[in-house]
Structure 1
Amino acid sequence: MAQIAFILLCHKDPEAIISQARQLTAAGDYMAIHFDARANPADFQRIQDALNDNPNVTFAKKRIKCGWGEWSLVQASLNAVEAALDAFPRATHFYMLSGDCMAIKSAEYAHALLDGEDVDYIESFDFFESDWIKTGFKEERLIYRHYLNERKHKKLFYASFRLQERLGLKRDIPSDIQVMIGSQWWCLRRRTVEWVMDFCRERKDVMRFFRSTWIPDETFFQTIVRHVVPDTEICTSTLTFLMFTDYGMPVTFYNDHYDLLLSQDFLFARKISPEATELKQRLGELYAAKGIEFQISNEGRSLFRFLTSRGRNGVRFAPRFWEAESSLGRERELLIVVAKKWHVAKRLASKIQEVTNIQAIEYLFDEASCPMPDLGGIQTQMGKRARHRRALMRMLYEYYDTDRMVICMDPKNMEMFQDFFTDRSITRLLEVESVFTDDYLAGHAIRVGLAGENTPSQSMERLLPTIRADVLGESDRIRDAGFERYYRISELRDAQDNAFALSQFLTIPQDEALQIAQTNHLFDD
């Protein structure tokens, strides 16, 4: 059975470290601790005194003064790994943790997962080809030498870089090494860790290279593991759940995140707030528990994006000149059917085309599978459709040889509605109002990835009011926009009232509009 040696890098909060070590080793696992040499010596002494009688805990023989972005973090990890290899010969896996991490599954679950597949879990993506680095230095991390801490000596750090750049002091990457990048939170098999340590002893040239790279904790293990282990034995994902804000800062978890964390498909989570004492207690008890079945829904990241983006509606960059100046055509009519329930809008659009012979296209800006004619490639990607929406619509008018067209759109597309209403063409908008039951909203949450089939009912109950408010908020924004030629039909109105709105929207006789309004099962789910 798998037995884990946790490699813990930490620098503060000795009581939390002591508690973490006791909780994780109580289930038969091990821990090697590296406590930052910059930290308070009294704190380290307190940790040692509390854990010295625990045979499943050891300490790195040499402590390093650690700094963000420096080689020191890698060296501290290697020192802790070396201590764990010596102290725990029965450890089968080595799992990198920080003092802010906590288990979100039981030891029983973790051991079963590691026993289930003979692989190493480490993010390991091509440094140059992947988009793992979003902003800032990329190639410069490697081809120039970095000896200073960017956060402590910012001016000197960038002065050193500019001097090397100006003098052409680039260096080559070791020719037989493919540099990889990924999260520093990995879980490696014992054999892999031993091979990595052997590599470190044998390849002094590679060690010298990485010692002067920038942020090597994101590249060193990721590169060496890929060099010594076959690709088929590497799972390029981390077992530690972490999220980042739009500003690149780690998301912190609090007491009310317990159910959310347990439903994620990971073994640990980072980072847990120091103030979340209830969460820490519950998660600590969880690791030693037996017979727990976890309902994995894995909606954490999509749910976070959904909830944090609510305040950003209506924010956009300035339109490109071709977007602002191009037009669908002064004599053309664009008839937009807006509905959150896509199946209702599709039924309505189909009936409109049947009764009026007006060309109707479904959710072309929301659904990649929407049937589209070949327009030279502009229709192939959702991003292209949105960016070149006016050009796309002009091509559709020309393709179908018509001046009137019905399209379906999701109510979230406020930016597009505003754009189309500023065009010289005649734009009309029909909002389709439906009743949203809790069951429908729960299904909607699953379809868009905000929840999973196994999301706990308590979590779903907390989520539903937010989704309902979001749906209603989208409708309110459309009404508040004050669009000229705005119309609305509703599931709560009778066919005659809806027919009146349809006749104005489509500029058709009342009897034809009534025929459309009386479409069988129009609002059915």
Structure 2
Amino acid sequence: MARIAFILLCHKDPKGIIAQARRLTATGDYVAIHFDARANPKDFEEIRQALLDNPGVVLANRRWKCGWGEWSLVGATLDTARAALEAFPQATHFYMLSGDCMPIKSAQYAHGFLDAEDCDYIENFDFFESDWIKTGFKEERLIYRHWFNERTRSKLFYASYELQKRFKITREVPSDIQVMIGSQWWCLRRQSLEKVIAFCDSRPDVVRFFSTTWIPDETFFQTIVPHVVPKKELRARTLTYLIFTDYGMPVTFYNDHYDLLMGQNYLFARKISPEAIRLRERLGALWAASGVHFPISNEATGLFRFMTGRGRIGRRFAPRFWEVDGSLGRQNALRLVVAKKWHVAKRLTEAIRRHTDIPAVDYLFNEVEAHLPDLGGVETTVSKREHHRRALLKLLFEQFESNRLVICLDPSALHLIQDLCSDKADTRVLLIDSHFDDAYLRGHIRRVGLAGSETSAEVVERLIPTVRADLEHEAERLRDADLDALQSIAPWRPADDNAAQLAQFLDVTPEMAHQILAAEHLFSD
């Protein structure tokens, strides 16, 4: 059975650290503690005295003064890992934790999870090719030397960087390693950690290189582990659940997040608020529990993104730089069918294709299959279409040999709608209004990933009013956008009114509009 040695990096809350160590060792696991040398010496002494007689606890031989973005965090981890390897010969896995982490599964579940597959868990994405780094320094992290802490000595940090940049004082990455990047919260098997330590002892040049990179805790282990462990034995994920805000700060969890956290496919979570006393008590008791069933839903990240995104004006469909001067042409007529219920819009475009000679495609910026012709490859992925949307639409006009085109868009894509309406082409919008009953909303919540198959009905019911308001708000935003040509149809309006709106939208006769709208079950869910 797996026995875990937790490598615990901490700098505050001695009582919480003591409780964490006692809790984790009570189930037969181990804890190796590094307490920041910058912290209060009295706090460290309190920890040392309280855990002195616990055979499952060891303290790192050296206490580093740790700083964000510095090598000191990696140095502290390495020294603590060495202490754990020596002190706990029966440990099979070594799991990185911080003082803000708490278990969201039982020890019984965690041991079974690790026993189920002989592998290591560590994020390891290509440093240069992946988009793991969203903003700020990228290559600069490696090719320049960083001796100063960016947060506490920012003037020296940036002065050093500017001097190296000005005089082109750069360096090469060690030629025989591929730099990888990922979260610092990993879980490695004993033999893998021993290989990492052996590599460090035999390759001081690599250690020296990383010791002056910026934020090496995101690259050092992530690079060395794939270098010494076969790829088939690696899982590029962390077992510690954490979410980051748009500002790069970790999301903090509180007392009402217990059920949500239990449903995530992770063993621990970070960060748990110090004020969330009840949550800490429940999670602490959970670690020692047995026979607990954990229905995995993984809805937390989707819920967070949804809730924080509400009311925000996105920039997803802002014009790309190569499209600023582009135009679809004054001679072309573009018609935008905007509907939240995609099946209704697709029935309408199918009827338009059947009854008229107007080319009509479906949600070409959302779905791969959208009734598109062969366009030489630009249509093969949704991302390609979005990146080259004006070029794509021009190609469609040419391919269909028509100066008219109907496409479907989701009302959430307001900036795309506004962007296309500002084009020189004759662009009109048809909004298909909808009523969102509870049954539809339950399905929508699951379709967009806000809830999984294991999500409780109670959680889904709590989401329904919020999601309904959000969908209704999307339609209101479209109406408030003051578009020059906006028509709308709805299932509750008289057939003649809908036909008049559609006729104006498509430039067809009212009789033809009636035929199109007579499509079977057009508005049905």
- Give TM-score, length-normalised by structure 2: 0.93
Deviations 1:456-514 (A, max 9, x none): 22222222222211110111111222323322222223434433333333343333322
Match of 1:438 in 2: 438
Query: Equivalences for 1:464-483 in 2 at 5 Å?
Result: 464-483=464-483
Are the structure 2 counterparts of residues 502 and 292 from structure 1 closer, same or farther at C-alpha, using a change threshold of 3 Å?
same
2-side partners of 1:509 and 1:171: how far apart?
A: 71
2-side partners of 1:88 and 1:387: how far apart?
A: 53
In the TM superposition, residue 181 of structure 1 has moved relative to its aligned partner by 2.1
Match of 2:344 in 1: 344
Are the structure 2 counterparts of residues 184 and 489 from structure 1 closer, same or farther at C-alpha, using a change threshold of 3 Å?
same
Match of 1:202 in 2: 202
Are the structure 2 counterparts of residues 404 and 70 from structure 1 closer, same or farther at C-alpha, using a change threshold of 3 Å?
closer
1-side partners of 2:314 and 2:376: how far apart?
A: 31
Match of 2:229 in 1: 229
Are the structure 2 counterparts of residues 387 and 209 from structure 1 closer, same or farther at C-alpha, using a change threshold of 3 Å?
closer
- Secondary structure (helix, strand or coil) at the match of 1:75 reads helix
In the TM superposition, residue 5 of structure 1 has moved relative to its aligned partner by 0.7
Greater Cα offset, 484-493 or 70-79: 484-493
- Secondary structure (helix, strand or coil) at the match of 1:95 reads strand
- Secondary structure (helix, strand or coil) at the match of 2:336 reads strand
In the TM superposition, residue 166 of structure 1 has moved relative to its aligned partner by 4.6
Are the structure 2 counterparts of residues 41 and 320 from structure 1 closer, same or farther at C-alpha, using a change threshold of 3 Å?
closer
- Secondary structure (helix, strand or coil) at the match of 2:131 reads coil
Are the structure 2 counterparts of residues 146 and 488 from structure 1 closer, same or farther at C-alpha, using a change threshold of 3 Å?
closer
In the TM superposition, residue 325 of structure 1 has moved relative to its aligned partner by 4.8
Are the structure 2 counterparts of residues 424 and 78 from structure 1 closer, same or farther at C-alpha, using a change threshold of 3 Å?
closer
1-side partners of 2:122 and 2:180: how far apart?
A: 11
1-side partners of 2:175 and 2:337: how far apart?
A: 59
2-side partners of 1:211 and 1:329: how far apart?
A: 56
Match of 2:56 in 1: 56
- Secondary structure (helix, strand or coil) at the match of 1:311 reads coil
Greater Cα offset, 3-12 or 128-137: 128-137
1-side partners of 2:220 and 2:386: how far apart?
A: 40
Deviations 1:294-318 (A, max 9, x none): 1212233333222222232265797
2-side partners of 1:484 and 1:453: how far apart?
A: 43
- Secondary structure (helix, strand or coil) at the match of 1:359 reads coil
In the TM superposition, residue 170 of structure 1 has moved relative to its aligned partner by 3.4
Are the structure 2 counterparts of residues 88 and 471 from structure 1 closer, same or farther at C-alpha, using a change threshold of 3 Å?
same
Match of 1:449 in 2: 449
Alpha-carbon contact 1:121-1:239 (below 8 Å) kept: yes
1-side partners of 2:331 and 2:262: how far apart?
A: 57
Q: Say if 2:333 is the partner of 1:333.
A: yes
Are the structure 2 counterparts of residues 435 and 178 from structure 1 closer, same or farther at C-alpha, using a change threshold of 3 Å?
same
Are the structure 2 counterparts of residues 123 and 504 from structure 1 closer, same or farther at C-alpha, using a change threshold of 3 Å?
same
Alpha-carbon contact 1:259-1:459 (below 8 Å) kept: no
Match of 2:179 in 1: 179
Query: Equivalences for 1:20-31 in 2 at 5 Å?
Result: 20-31=20-31
AA aligned to 2:90 is R
Q: Say if 2:365 is the partner of 1:365.
A: yes
Match of 1:33 in 2: 33
AA aligned to 2:248 is G
Percent identity between the aligned chains?
Answer: 63
2-side partners of 1:74 and 1:280: how far apart?
A: 28
In the TM superposition, residue 33 of structure 1 has moved relative to its aligned partner by 0.8
Greater Cα offset, 391-400 or 242-251: 391-400
Match of 1:304 in 2: 304
Alpha-carbon contact 2:318-2:415 (below 8 Å) kept: no
Deviations 1:251-301 (A, max 9, x none): 222222222222221111111111122221121111111112212122333
- Give TM-score, length-normalised by structure 1: 0.93
Alpha-carbon contact 1:179-1:223 (below 8 Å) kept: yes
Are the structure 2 counterparts of residues 236 and 321 from structure 1 closer, same or farther at C-alpha, using a change threshold of 3 Å?
closer
Deviations 1:444-464 (A, max 9, x none): 222222221112222222222
Alpha-carbon contact 1:265-1:296 (below 8 Å) kept: yes
Q: Say if 2:428 is the partner of 1:428.
A: yes
- Secondary structure (helix, strand or coil) at the match of 1:271 reads coil
- Secondary structure (helix, strand or coil) at the match of 1:430 reads strand
Query: Equivalences for 1:247-262 in 2 at 5 Å?
Result: 247-262=247-262
2-side partners of 1:313 and 1:50: how far apart?
A: 52
2-side partners of 1:449 and 1:429: how far apart?
A: 28
Match of 1:7 in 2: 7
Deviations 1:50-98 (A, max 9, x none): 2223322221122111112222111211222122222222111000000
Are the structure 2 counterparts of residues 160 and 337 from structure 1 closer, same or farther at C-alpha, using a change threshold of 3 Å?
closer
Q: Which 5+ residue runs of structure 1 have no aligned equivalent?
A: none
Match of 2:513 in 1: 513
Alpha-carbon contact 2:101-2:272 (below 8 Å) kept: yes
Greater Cα offset, 462-471 or 138-147: 138-147
In the TM superposition, residue 167 of structure 1 has moved relative to its aligned partner by 4.8
1-side partners of 2:204 and 2:431: how far apart?
A: 68
Alpha-carbon contact 1:255-1:277 (below 8 Å) kept: yes
In the TM superposition, residue 227 of structure 1 has moved relative to its aligned partner by 2.3
Match of 2:115 in 1: 115
- Secondary structure (helix, strand or coil) at the match of 1:427 reads strand
Are the structure 2 counterparts of residues 143 and 90 from structure 1 closer, same or farther at C-alpha, using a change threshold of 3 Å?
same
Are the structure 2 counterparts of residues 159 and 313 from structure 1 closer, same or farther at C-alpha, using a change threshold of 3 Å?
closer
2-side partners of 1:337 and 1:361: how far apart?
A: 10
Greater Cα offset, 136-145 or 342-351: 136-145
Match of 1:401 in 2: 401
Greater Cα offset, 35-44 or 274-283: 274-283
Aligned length: 525
Are the structure 2 counterparts of residues 212 and 511 from structure 1 closer, same or farther at C-alpha, using a change threshold of 3 Å?
closer
- Secondary structure (helix, strand or coil) at the match of 2:311 reads helix
1-side partners of 2:187 and 2:318: how far apart?
A: 45
Greater Cα offset, 422-431 or 247-256: 422-431
2-side partners of 1:386 and 1:179: how far apart?
A: 31
In the TM superposition, residue 119 of structure 1 has moved relative to its aligned partner by 0.5
In the TM superposition, residue 196 of structure 1 has moved relative to its aligned partner by 2.0
Query: Equivalences for 1:410-421 in 2 at 5 Å?
Result: 410-421=410-421
Alpha-carbon contact 1:96-1:185 (below 8 Å) kept: yes
- Secondary structure (helix, strand or coil) at the match of 2:360 reads strand
- Secondary structure (helix, strand or coil) at the match of 1:312 reads coil
In the TM superposition, residue 168 of structure 1 has moved relative to its aligned partner by 4.8
Match of 1:91 in 2: 91
Are the structure 2 counterparts of residues 198 and 421 from structure 1 closer, same or farther at C-alpha, using a change threshold of 3 Å?
closer
1-side partners of 2:99 and 2:142: how far apart?
A: 29
1-side partners of 2:331 and 2:166: how far apart?
A: 59
Alpha-carbon contact 1:430-1:487 (below 8 Å) kept: yes
Are the structure 2 counterparts of residues 396 and 26 from structure 1 closer, same or farther at C-alpha, using a change threshold of 3 Å?
same
In the TM superposition, residue 133 of structure 1 has moved relative to its aligned partner by 2.6
2-side partners of 1:278 and 1:474: how far apart?
A: 38
Deviations 1:4-56 (A, max 9, x none): 11100000111221222222222221111111111001111222232223322
Alpha-carbon contact 1:9-1:33 (below 8 Å) kept: yes
Are the structure 2 counterparts of residues 14 and 322 from structure 1 closer, same or farther at C-alpha, using a change threshold of 3 Å?
closer
2-side partners of 1:415 and 1:389: how far apart?
A: 13
Query: Equivalences for 1:270-285 in 2 at 5 Å?
Result: 270-285=270-285
